[in-house]
Amino acid sequence: MAEHGGASFRRDLSEWRIVLVAWRLLVLQAADPVVSAGMAEHSTYRAHPWRRVEHTLGSGRRLFYQDAEALRREVARLERAHKRIRGTGPDGRPYDAGDAATRAWVLLTLFEGVVAMRRLGGDRYDAGELARAYAEFREAVAVFDLPKGEIPETVGELPAYFARYARERLEHTEAARHLLDDLLREAPAPRRLRFLGDAGWRVVRVVVARAIRELTVADLPPAVRERFGLVRTRRAALLSAVLHRGAGAVVPLLPDRLRYRSPEEHRAPKRHRPHRDGRGPRLDRFFHEVLDQTGDGFITAHDLRAMAHNVCWQLELDEAGEARVYEAFDSWWEQLRAVMDANGDGKVSREEFVAATLAGLDRDEAYLERGLLPALRAVFTAADTDGSGFLEFDEYRAVFGGPRVHPAELSHGFRRLDADGDGRITREEFLAGFTGFFTARADSVPGTELLGRP
């Protein structure tokens, strides 16, 4: 990708200031009804809002920061993921993430977000820089092969495009409303604030939720605020000015290693608070940290497919590998549903999961073979993405290394399951260890530590 003198769109996209417009970016995307419906049915943003932000920004950085081959792989990954996001929304309207207008909108919000970051920070692009930045953007998104006309030809056409799209396509969808009004009031602590503990975060969360909402409303394009019936208060405008102008004055003075974030950078979460002994708390932890990806208190097919998506995303599998993972996770869901969905409503609650597992283990000697072991074999097949018959650490981490599990805990659990210490987990070691997680009454069995120390 060509370098230009002066401002660079892809470099600015990796600047830390981008976090100030990240929530604004999500709201603009979620205001598209197709995106909103896909988020409701397929996304884990309610349970993992910070991961959603990171995936959105991380994917953007990869699109604009890689060589041609890496860019091709990223686009292929997005294409495979979006092929599966389709259906009928709660309002009865069909949706398809492959919709060309929606895909163009999502891409253009990345460009518009960077432009807004610069403008709000007091160092807006001049006319020449803006034209070069847009040329850089168009060069990258050309690989999506969108129909002619979906991406405006020149940067001068963008104001009319955004005004028209806001007027004709955007809605104050449930996902956009939830992002603005509710999600941050119930969100788990981001990794850097885990030291506050649950009680401390609940107090801080109230302030964070209000500040981000006011900042987002203040920074939204006027046409969108008008469309949503939102008012930009003086207090919100002052907050926006202080944060953006302050960051705009300070961040550009930092050395590049502090000013910009690498596309491949990952931060380790804080240690998870230990649970008390016993199968019940372990099962409860497994339900919340592994199975309930959408955070709505139930396991459905969407949760298991969200897990499959996350595995494929992290390991950058090819199409055949992704198909195997999705097939295995679909099989796991069918096992869960058949054994635990007592009322036949197509979902499994935490209570149903814990009660069915404990009852099956305590009262039915055939439960392991009928319900648990087939599911465990499906999980192993899903995790064994290269079909080697072993789980390497990266494969294990892709399934069980959620944002609430510290890497050191995960490594410890992996070593405990690796009974022969050869650096990989066999199917037999996995089945024995995982069975121990569900069945052991004491926490001394290796499998009880597959999510880290209990």
- Say if residues 309 and 399 touch (Cβ distance below 8 Å): no
DSSP per-residue codes, 254-297: S-HHHHB--TT---PPPPPPPPPSSHHHHHHHHIIIII-TT-SS
Torsions phi, psi for 149 (to 5 deg): 100, -20
Please give the average per-residue pLDDT across 168-180, as a whole number.
90
Does pLDDT of 345 surpass 70? yes
* The pLDDT of residue 35 is above 80: yes
358 is a domain residue: yes
Structural tokens at position 85: 């996001």
Cα gap 10→3, rounded to integer Å: 10
In a domain, 267, yes or no: no
Which CATH number goes with the domain that contains 309? Answer: 1.10.238.10
Q: What's the structural domain count of the chain?
A: 2
**Mind listing the pLDDT tens digit for each residue in 45-92?**
666 676 667 666 666 666 665 566 666 666 776 777 667 777 887 778
Alpha carbon separation from 449 to 256, 289, 359, 415 (Å, rounded): 40, 14, 22, 10
Mean pLDDT of the chain: 79
Give CA–CA dist 330/322, Å, rounded: 12
Same-domain status, 170 and 304: no
Section 127-139 average pLDDT: 91
Look up the pTM and report it.
Answer: 0.60
Token couple for 205: 């969360």
Q: How confident is the model at residue 131 (pLDDT cuts 50, 70, 90)?
A: very high
Q: Looking at the structure, tell me whether residues 255 and 283 fall in a common domain.
A: no
Residues 206 and 302 in one domain: no
- Residue 294 confidence (pLDDT) above 80: no
Count, residues in the chain:
454
Question: Same structural domain for residues 247 and 314?
Answer: no
Q: What is the pLDDT of residues 3-27, one digit of tens each?
A: 434 567 888 888 889 999 988 999 9
Domain that holds residue 25: 9-259
CA 87 to chain centre: 20
Tell whether 264 is covered by a domain.
no
Same domain, residue pair 302 and 441: yes
Residues 206 and 149 grouped into a single domain: yes
> Worst-scoring range by mean pLDDT, 154-163, 200-209, 238-247, 321-330?
321-330
Residue 268 lies in a domain: no
Q: Is residue 277 predicted with pLDDT exceeding 70?
A: no
